[in-house]
Amino acid sequence: MISVDAREKLKSIVGNENYQDSNEMKLVYSYDATPNFQSLPDAIVSPKNTKEVSELLKTCNEYQIPIVPRGSGTNLAAGTCPTNGGIVVLFNHMKDIVEIDEDNLTVTVQPGVITLDMVNAVEEKGFFYPPDPSSMKISTIGGNLMENSGGLRGLKYGVTRDYVLGLEVVLPNGDVVQTGGKLAKDVAGYDLTRLFIGSEGTLGIITEATLKLIPMPEAKKTVLAVYEDLESAARSVSKIISDKIIPTTLEFMDQSTIRVVEDFAKVGLPVEAEAVLLIEQDGPIEVVERDMAHIEKVCKDMNAISVQVAQSEEEADALRTARRSALSALARLRPTTILEDATVPRSEIAKMVHAIKEIEEKHNVTICTFGHAGDGNLHPTCLTDARDHDELKRVEQAFEDIFVEAIKLGGTITGEHGVGEMKSPYLELKLGEAGVNAMKGIKQAFDPNNIMNPGKIFAKDERKRVVIG
């Protein structure tokens, strides 16, 4: 609950028109893309600049009002669900592309910029911003930064973190800090830049970011390799990389996913195949051609039934779009779709996919698996119905088994989605008590009143997707 006094203060900061607390608005911002997590905020505010964000945070700190910064709400771990109420902060007034600096190869943006808008703006000038989360058409850069978003090109090009040179951040006490700059090298003190990247809105609010660009690769080729068995696909992945070729993209879909995606996208995917790999390479034309010839050969040597090189950009784009549509396609089948992102070392992919199949059978649930085979980042996706509490309990148990298995194989509970509220009970699996305590120490240092996105990353209790027992 926000007191009358606090409400008036907040309104005086952002203006009446940027403070909304109608029931409709509260409902709209009560959830994100994560099924089955919902909680009403007390208000939705839209600051116009850094100064307003600073005053907002100071006021919320004074009144101990929870703050949930929110981009487009594509979060899949309930990271933008207003778990403890409070205010949801939107960045719809802070979406300028401030500068594209062609000498220093940087782009400076406000947090509300849509990822794809920024990508298009820099590509027009011949530059490349590699991180490409599947949600990039609607996600914001601010959200990408807060989640350290990954994407299909992670194997070769890394993730959001690898492209951030500097930040302007507002701390919970209202202080504004500038980190880094247009600098390839900067070791002045602790790496605050990367501490904020992936902090899921729990340490402060990013109000501006300077990102690194690279020259646009001159050519790109796409190939689809089809397999009768999973091991051959996994062996292809290993062999390509141990032959010292790092493709831009090395995506995997299992049979269940192939069938659903084909039914949705109609691009001619082989519905009888056990697995497909979508492989792309970019770079100078000579290198792309040489690498692609080698990749084709490896896939054939590893018993691919067919290896089909896209003959045109349209054909390549259709394949990419099909892969990107996996979540949407799967979501049509049953009322509730839960997409996970357990991640393992690349060498353990086949083992992990098999383990997921076993877990699926053990708990009698439906799991389709696709993901980024090249970087070990899998997306086991459960098709279920949130209204069926009994089934949901089994889903919960299946995911717990998946996380345990990922950790056992040297992996992690989340490769690119974040911990949010949903995976907070599992964080200790990955980090142990000592690691979680170290993180709690940082949280306490930055946000002693716990106003920043409370209930995220750190488990308050054992609440999982459904309350069991």
Report which DSSP code applies to 121.
H
- H or E element in which residue 283 lies: strand 275-283
Contact set for a copy of itself, span 33-72 (CB under 8 A): none
| Cβ proximity to a copy of itself, 111 vs 172, nearer residue | 172
Please give the size of the binding site for a copy of itself, defined by CB under 8 A. 90
Spell 55-90 as b/e; 16+ CB within 10 A means b. Answer: bbbbbbbebebbbbbbbbbbbbbbbbbbbbbbbbbb
Range 267-286, binding a copy of itself (CB under 8 A): 283-284, 286
**Smallest separation (angstroms) from a copy of itself to the CB of 270:** 27
Is residue 382 within 8 Å of 465, Cβ to Cβ? no
Minimum CB distance to a copy of itself, residue 378 (Å): 10
Residues in 129-188 that interact with a copy of itself by CB under 8 A: 147-148, 150, 154-155, 158-159, 161-162, 171, 175-179, 181-188
Q: Is 309 helix (H, G, I), strand (E, B) or coil?
A: strand
Measured from the CB atom, the residue of 336 and 424 that comes closer to a copy of itself is 424
**Is residue 450 near a copy of itself by the rule CB under 8 A?**
no
First to last CA, the chain: 30
Cα 224 vs. chain centroid, distance in angstroms? 25
Binding to a copy of itself by CB under 8 A, coded x per residue (else -) over 427-446, reads x--xxx-xxxxxx-xx-xxx
Task: Tell me the per-residue interface mask from 229 to 268 with a copy of itself, x by CB under 8 A, - otherwise.
Answer: ---------x--xx-xxx----------------------
**336 vs 377 by CB, closer to a copy of itself:** 377
CA neighbor of 48 nearest in space, from 95, 99, 117: 95
Q: Residue 26 CB, nearest distance to a copy of itself (Å)?
A: 29
Residues 70-109 binding a copy of itself (CB under 8 A) are: 101-105
Q: Which of 9, 58, 346, 465 binds a copy of itself (CB under 8 A)?
A: 346
Give the residue, chosen from 27, 40, 98, 214, that forms a contact with a copy of itself under the rule CB under 8 A. Answer: 214
- From 47, 142, 415, 455, residue interacting with a copy of itself (rule: CB under 8 A): 415
| Per-state percent for the chain, helix, strand, coil, to nearest 5 | 40, 20, 40
For the chain, what is the total number of helices (H) and then of strands (E)? 15, 18
CB of 251 to a copy of itself, least distance (A): 14
Taking the C-alpha atoms of residue 370 and residue 374, their distance in angstroms, rounded to an integer, is: 12
CA proximity to 240, closest of 105, 349, 343: 349
Give 117 or 289: the residue with its C-beta nearer to a copy of itself: 289
Helical (H) or strand (E) element with 321: helix 313-324
| Strand segments (E) across 163-204 | 164-170, 176-180
Residue 99, SS3 per DSSP: strand
What's the closest the beta carbon of residue 185 comes to a copy of itself, in angstroms?
Answer: 4
For residue 12, give Cα distances in angstroms to 20, 56, 70, 428: 13, 10, 21, 42
CB of 47 vs a copy of itself, minimal distance in Å: 19
* Positions in 305-344 near a copy of itself (CB under 8 A): 343-344
Measured from the CB atom, the residue of 66 and 131 that comes closer to a copy of itself is 131
- The minimum distance between CB 231 and a copy of itself, in angstroms, equals 14
Two structure tokens written together for 251: 């995506």
Pick the piece of the chain touching a copy of itself (CB under 8 A) from 224-232, 332-340, 372-380, 460-468.
Answer: 372-380
What is the spatial distance between Cα 112 and Cα 70, in angstroms, rounded to a whole number? 9
User: Minimum distance from CB of 272 to a copy of itself (Å)?
Assistant: 29
